[in-house]
Amino acid sequence: MTQLSNMAVRDIETVIHPYTNLARHRETGPLILNEGKGIYLHDEKGKRYIEGMAGLWCTALGYGNMEVAEAGAEALRRVSFTHAFSGKSHDGLIELSEKLKEIAPVPTSKVLFGSSGSEANDMQVKLTWYYNNARGKPEKKKIISRIRAYHGVTIASASLTGLPWVHGDFDLPIRNVLHTSCPHFYRFGKDGETEEEFASRMAQDLEDMILREGPDTVAAFIAEPIMGAGGVITPPKTYFDKVGAILEKYDVRFIADEVICGFGRTGNWFGTQTYKMKAHSISMAKAITSAYFPLSALTIEEDLYQAMLEQSRKLGTFGHGYTYTAHPVGCAIALKVIEIYQRDKVMENAAKVSNVFQSRLKALADHPLVGEARGEGLIGAVELVADKKTRRSFDFKKGVGPTALKMMEEMGLIVRNVQDTIAFCPPLIITTEEVHAMFDIVEKGLDQLEGHVRKENLRSA
């Protein structure tokens, strides 16, 4: 058993860690990361790691950007806090709202802020219900998400999430949340089916669900451009074109969850642009501040804003908001981060580096453990399989994905597993040389994992 440091023991006795096997954590302890610069983190012993996940898909500018830190410090010095209730505002809130309207990939009337992606998607649910009440359609309340989607962990957003471990024993999902088919061609395509035919079948599944439930009861459909925490699942060709046409046909609000894809991850400002999604509203968080401060936002389309006006006249107020809505420090940091994205052409440079990233990623498809290597821009994943020919997965109880994660971590790379899918999402500032260094470790890790799989006979059914 590993000898735990004093700090690790203190962690075990005081901290609840999200998405962690709490029983196993008592034996292994935490990885304590106290310093970061660029794409690198250092643990308490001084060991250096490449941060191959940009934290949690979020630290786009990497660590230790002093320009962003100073923007936050100056905001703290100027006005440490003010809220947005009762018509109060501040310069940063106004300027950031204007900037987001300018760069948003969908027609935007107003912007509403929160502190996390979960909050943003939770608000999308509330506002969709509010909107349909305002326009005299009180039965139009059902929200359709997708199997393996990830939209957050509040009660509403966790219900939208389509992963069993987010629902299990939490009594979720709540009423009026449905999940249509997962559009993962590699895993769910039929023999002889083309990608476009698969996309048509997925769209038909959605239309069948709308008709089965009754179009007058279906209010919204929510989708990530790329399904991040569900396994970095890229949409099949023509999928969003076909889905968009169905949503328009049945007057269903289309919400794009840009929490992971927004701000350059797919090679454009937003994944909505990459996949030509005709959404009504987008949710954004994470890279809006490069994760230097908790902040999220969603766009409000004009029809929704007019409904909100009518409800305000009727009810006397818009009865929603958080203490930290549009916190001045968060707004200042977001403005500086967006300024850096634009001034330093961060996204254009990331798009160039992504060519090398995707080339190294796709080359992993030849590895005997890899069933599929998939991705877009600077996000990707490899799905580990027991049998490449039949696409048979490993028994998840054998822990192949977590073992791969641990092996790469020991080699100095931090990545993330979704069961037996290994995800990569480095900071957008990563260089070509650093991409090669990252994937050199991935290749070594997979080779070491292959030896472990053979030794332990983990391919057996």
Q: Which residues pair with 374 in a beta bridge?
A: 381
Q: Is pLDDT above 90 for 294?
A: yes
Average pLDDT over residues 7-17: 96
**For the chain, what is the mean pLDDT?**
97
- Percent of the chain residues past pLDDT 70, beyond the cut: 100
3-state secondary structure of 458: coil
Average pLDDT over residues 72-95: 97
Q: What is the pLDDT of residues 208-244, one digit of tens each?
A: 999 999 999 999 999 999 999 999 999 999 999 999 9
Residue 158: band (very low, low, confident or very high) from pLDDT cuts 50, 70, 90? very high
Phi, psi of 428 (to 5 degrees): -65, -15
Q: Element (H or E) spanning 300, and its range?
A: strand 296-300
Identify the pLDDT of residue 344: 97
Identify the pLDDT of residue 138: 97
Q: What is the pLDDT of residues 363-402, one digit of tens each?
A: 999 999 999 999 999 999 999 999 999 999 999 899 999 9
What residues contact 4, with CB distance under 8 A and at least 6 apart? 12, 29
Residue 429: band (very low, low, confident or very high) from pLDDT cuts 50, 70, 90? very high
Biggest distance spanned by C-alpha atoms of the chain: 70
Average pLDDT over residues 174-201: 98
Identify the pLDDT of residue 461: 77
Domains and CATH numbers, the chain: 31-64+345-456 (3.90.1150.10), 67-343 (3.40.640.10)
Identify the pLDDT of residue 3: 83
Residue 52: band (very low, low, confident or very high) from pLDDT cuts 50, 70, 90? very high
Average pLDDT over residues 126-151: 98
- Percent of the chain residues past pLDDT 90, beyond the cut: 99
Q: Is pLDDT above 90 for 66?
A: yes
Q: Are 327 and 81 in contact (CB under 8 A)?
A: yes
Q: What is the pLDDT of residues 238-280, one digit of tens each?
A: 999 999 999 999 999 999 999 999 999 999 999 999 999 999 9
d(CA 101, CA 390) in angstroms, rounded, equals 47
Residue 2: band (very low, low, confident or very high) from pLDDT cuts 50, 70, 90? low
Identify the pLDDT of residue 159: 98
Q: Is pLDDT above 70 for 30?
A: yes
What residues contact 383, with CB distance under 8 A and at least 6 apart? 186, 187, 231, 370, 371, 372, 373, 374, 420, 421
Q: Give the CA angle between residues 378, 380, 383 to the nearest 5°.
A: 170
pTM to 2 decimal places: 0.96
Q: Is pLDDT above 80 for 47?
A: yes
